[in-house]
Each structure stands twice: as C-alpha cells, then as structure tokens.
Amino acid sequence: MAVFLSARLGKPLLVEGEPGCGKTELAKALAVATGTELIRLQCFEGLDARSALYDWDYPKQMLTIRIHEKTETPSAVEKEIFSERFLLRRPLLRALDGDATHRPVLLIDEVDRSDEEFEGLLLEVLSDFQVTIPELGTIKALRIPIVIITSNRTRELSDALKRRCLYAFVGYPDLDKETEILRARIPQLDARLAREIAGFVQRIRGETDLVRRPGVAETLDWAAALLALNRKSIDRELVRDTLGFLVKDAQDLELVRARHPEDLPDSA
C-alpha cells in the first residue's frame, strides 16, 4: 500500500529497516513491475550536487574555449559553454528531466550515509520536483518520478526530509514469508530445504546478542551456496562450513557456532 500511495499522491516514500531486508529490492521490483527505468543514486559521506544532480563537462568546456577564443566574443563563448550540450546529468536530474510519457523510479539508496547538507539539497528536488541551475534556469519535472528513499537508520534523518515523505518500515519476514521469498527468488530450491533454511535463519535472528542479524539477502546467499553444493538438507557440518554466508561478524560467528549446531540434526 505504501508504494501505491506514494505513486498516487506523488510523494517520495522513505523506507527504513534493517540492512538486507529488501528495501533496495523494493525499488528494483517496482521498476520491473511498471516497466520503467530505475535511476539509482547510491549515497555516501561527501556526496554533493556534482555527483547527485549535475555537473559541467569541464574538459569539453576548456577545449571549446580554446577553439572559439579567437573567433568569438567572450560573452558568446560563455553562453556556448554553459548550454545544455555541456551539462552532465546526474541521477537526480535525469529523473526529473525525462519526457512526459515515462515515469521513472528514482532510488535514493542509503540516504543516512550522506551528510545533512545533502539532505538540504534533496528538499527542493523532493518537494517541488525541480532543480535550479543558475546558468540555465529551473528545470521542472514534466512527470513526477516515483521516488523511493532507503535508510538503514544509522542516523536520524532531518524532520524536513521526513515531512516530505511517506514512511514505511520493513522488518524481517516471518518463516512463511521468508520461505516464499526463497522459493520465488531461487525456484530450483527444494521446498523442504527452503523451509529448513528459513527456519534456521529465523532461529539465528532470535539471538538477542548478535551484532548484525542476517537479512533476507544473506538468507538468499546462503540458499544459493547450498544449492551450488547440491545439498538437500542442512546438517551441523554444513552449517559450520557455510555459516560465513549468513553471519558476517566474527563475534557473531563464534556465538552462533557455539549455540546452534546442537539444535541441528547430525546429518540429513
């Protein structure tokens, strides 16, 4: 319903949740389902307008200056080099600058990794769906893109950004849902093995002392590994050998190895 409302109301959807729960996958699936382009902006510390919004093609501008400096007036050269021909469209601008027939899906991934300044930059884009380029003027979206913003909650996002978004929290799936996901994503996986895998992962997630709980992405990795090993069920030895696919922290690995193998059958 969150995606539906986001699309209908024309508002960005902020999706928060534990890492590996399918937040990014939601945007990818949406793009596939709607048959539109997925434009992805991966956030990181230090991300700025040049990487997210637009930049000028400076080497090309320099060459153009050299070519025309003898024949054109300085103002004509300046007008030329700050035209759309020299504009490098980054993900945010590409999402706004499409034609009226397409409504792309814009994924702003892991926004909590970016700085507060970048959030400020997003405000104009997300509230008015327009970008102001001093040399060219304001570019307004002909058709508002479907915007999915994901966050792992490593820091609190600003109120201003939250206010502009609808909100959804994605938690870990239950046993049935996770089994269903495994069957859907890895159709070759035996139904019984899928349920065994999901059950084991659910038990590991139940551990309160884990630093990083395995997400759905880890479950899928592990299932794919077991499939590659041509295994039909899980046992103690197999878990010991392949646990690194599921648990990706040294302390957690020790903890799970110490506790869980006892719960497993010795062999299939």
Partner 1 sequence: MSTAARPGDPPAERIYHRIAEFVTFLRESGISVGIGAEVDLAGALETIDVLDREEFRSAARITLGKSPEELRRLDAAFDAFWSGGVVRPGIPSPGHDSSAPRMRSTRTKTRPEPRLNADEVIPPSGVTAFGVYSATAPASGHVLAPLGEAELRALRRGARRFRLVTSTLPGRRLGRARRGSLDLYATLRHNLRRGGEWLDLIRRRPLRGRTQFLILWDVSGSMREHDARCFALVHALERVSRSSRVFAFSTTIEEVTEEVRRHGYRRALGAVGARLTPAEGGTQIGPCLREFSEHEGAALRDHTVVVIVSDGWDLAESGVVAEQLRRIGHRVDSVIWVSPYARRPGFEPRTGALVAALPHLDALLGPEDFESRFPLRPLVGKIRREEPPLPLAMT
Interface ranges with partner 1 (CB under 8 A): 1-2, 4-5, 8-9, 11, 14, 16, 18-19, 44-46, 50, 55-56, 58-59, 61-62, 65-66, 69, 74, 81, 115-116, 152-156, 158-159, 162-164, 166-169, 208-213, 251
CB of 104 to partner 1, least distance (A): 21
Nearer to partner 1, 50 or 102 (CB): 50
Q: How far is the CB of 193 from partner 1 (least distance, A)?
A: 29
Nearer to partner 1, 149 or 234 (CB): 149
* Residues 34, 146: Cα–Cα separation, whole Å: 10
Cβ proximity to partner 1: between 50 and 79 the closer is 50
Q: How far is the CB of 126 from partner 1 (least distance, A)?
A: 12
Min dist CB 169 to partner 1, Å, is 5
Nearer to partner 1, 55 or 235 (CB): 55
Are 17 and 148 contacting, i.e. CB atoms less than 8 angstroms apart? Answer: no
3-state helix, strand, coil in the chain (%, to 5): 50, 15, 35
Question: CA separation (Å) from 28 to 38, 83, 110, 112?
Answer: 7, 33, 14, 19
∠ CA 201-153-93, nearest 5°, is 115
Contact residues for 120 (Cβ-Cβ < 8 A; gap 6+): 160
For residues 125 and 45, the answer to whether their CB atoms sit within 8 Å is no
Residue with smaller CB distance to partner 1, 99 or 209: 209
CB of 163 to partner 1, least distance (A): 5
Residue 117 C-beta: closest distance to partner 1, Å? 9
Measured from the CB atom, is 162 or 185 closer to partner 1? Answer: 162
- 3-class SS string, 215-231: CHHHHHHHHHHHHHCCC
The Cα 159–Cα 156 span in angstroms is 9
